[in-house]
Amino acid sequence: MKNKSFITFSLKTMAFAIGILTIQACSKKLDSVYLNPNNPVEVDIEAVLPNAINQMTSTAAPPTGGGGGSYGCAAEAVLMARYIQYWGDVATNNSYDQMGGVYGTGSDNTGLVWAMHYYGIGANAKYIISRGRWQEKWDYVGVANALFAFSWLTLTEQYGEVILKQSFDASRSQFDYDSQEAVYDTVRKICDSAIYYLNRTDGAVSPANLAKGDTYFYGGDVNKWKKFVYAIKARSYAHLSNKTIYTTNNYADSVIKYCNLSITTNADNATQKWQGGNFSGTNNYYGPYRGNIGTLRQTAFIADLLTGASAASPFSGIIDPRTPYLLNENNNGTYKGILPGQGSSGLGTNDQPKNFWRQLFSSTSTAVPDSGRYIFNNLAPFPVITASDMQFMKAEAAYRKGDKALALTAYTNAINLSFDLLTTDYDNRIPLSKKITSASRAAYLTDPKVIPVSAANLTLSMIMLQKYIALYGYGFHETWTDLRRFHYTDIDPATGTQVYAGFTLPSVLNVYNAGKLAYRARPRYNSEYLYNIPALQTIGALASDYHTKEHWFMQP
């Protein structure tokens, strides 16, 4: 993987990160005597914020360049999105295609969100909050809390038990793990703190100054950051649908409330944008410049779902007009995909899809033109949370509480928002003959198999499958959380078939799975497995099948 970026925050800032760097007293004394004019002790928080924001995807934004390495959700999804069959490897028998985890090696695979939280976002967010309070830049403090809320929720839903109470305590060399339930509670408290600070207009609050550190995300728009925070809060309730407290505490109403306060139009989408140029941190992680996805290929599940080839799908026989925007055709001009762990097996040469940079199936070269569609090119904007995502979440909550009329309205809005996003932000590389037209869109949306005439005919399977399509590529963590809530193959009571109809488990599971499915990731090796072994033992993280242990959020 290419990583030409450099650290944007000071040595003092790095001291907040767990397991990254311990600054000895003698080095502090030396630093105070031999100050480096090119590495100031005090860094402007305006220069630190871009790196913190971009860790949500994995890279750092201009104007300050990169920082923190290839951490974050986009980087993690290269391997772990194979669990949900966004894509698979061109080679056969890949461990992650077989839902395998990491055991007994020094690899940091599956530890990139851990590093994103405790290092990439955590160190920077702590620094921004500390300096922002002192400088009365309450908008920066609010944004840093918003990033922390996102980071804590993503962290616990990938790893389960994590270090909460003792996190960022530089006096410790070992850390105890806390329950996932405690992290969920903390996420909501941080959301409330973020809203409090984002609502403040006193002190040194300045939209123009916030925009200096937020150029490539929300452009310093505090109201959009508030919507982002409410989206995190909505997720914190929606993801507990399996638990008894979801019903007893009326969490469906909380989901709907916070979805209404969150991102409702594509203009408010939380999206990372890029400047381009000859730096990793200024380009999309999935573009050919960074060279990270050369071996990935679309799967049969998404291809069959979009083309109507899946007999099990409620949309069977219907070609989705979004197909050429999201997928790549083969030499036959059709859309096929690979099966997990099987590479090109079972696909004739002319049925093998082009790769995500639109080269031959067999090509893994990064020295190719930047011709990928959708999110797979150097300058493609990368969504983090979208209005479509929020509307599907609202539809599910309304469905669960028995308000099918509201569920159908939100479901319809969600699909329309997905279409609008593609035709607005990802239309320019689509051939004229393959573009979505008013007629093709209307034909799809008026098909009762897609949007039922009666709300009584809406099913949970329809909601979750359409959400899968809308979030394809960028929404790995949200989609993985959804699939885990349904244990991948749970049955929809209304249909008697799988909620994720047509989703077929790998024919061969990794040997370390012991016949079970992957539900979590192992914590980052280059921190936890080097010094925190006693704490790992308490949560069972030394077991070879730890990645198959169910989460608290999945259980009743």
- For 21-50, the pLDDT digits (tens) are 333 334 444 444 444 555 556 899 999 999
**Res 4 pLDDT > 80:** no
**What's the CA gap between 422 and 424, in Å, rounded?**
5
**Res 3 pLDDT > 80:** no
How confident is the model at residue 38, as a pLDDT? 52
- For 443-502, the pLDDT digits (tens) are 999 999 999 999 999 999 999 999 999 999 999 999 999 999 999 999 999 999 999 999
1 — pLDDT class (breaks 50, 70, 90): very low
11-246+274-279+519-554, CATH topology level? 1.25.40
**What's the CA gap between 54 and 50, in Å, rounded?**
6
**Res 65 pLDDT > 90:** no
- For 321-333, the pLDDT digits (tens) are 999 999 999 999 9
**Rounded average pLDDT over 376-403:** 98
For residues 58 and 74, the answer to whether their CB atoms sit within 8 Å is: yes
For residues 54 and 70, the answer to whether their CB atoms sit within 8 Å is: no
What single DSSP character describes residue 107? -
Q: In 168-198, which positions are buried (b, 16+ CB within 10 angstroms) versus exposed (e)?
A: beeeeeebebbebeebbebbbebbebbbebb
Residue reference for tokens 């169910």: 550
Element (H, E) at 89: strand 87-89
For residues 232 and 263, the answer to whether their CB atoms sit within 8 Å is: no
Segments in 96-179 forming alpha helices (H): 112-115, 122-135, 138-159
What angle is formed at CA 550 by the lines to CA 547 and CA 556, rounded to 5 degrees? 175
The neighbouring-strand residues paired with 338 are 299
Backbone angles phi, psi at 41, to 5 degrees: -65, -40
- For 222-249, the pLDDT digits (tens) are 999 999 999 999 999 999 999 999 999 9
For residues 72 and 120, the answer to whether their CB atoms sit within 8 Å is: yes
Q: Where are the domains positioned within the chain?
A: 11-246+274-279+519-554
How confident is the model at residue 103, as a pLDDT? 87
pTM above 0.85, yes or no: yes
CA nearest to 326, candidates 382, 292, 372, 362: 372
**Rounded average pLDDT over 504-529:** 96
Residue reference for tokens 């509480």: 401
Share the mean pLDDT of the chain.
91
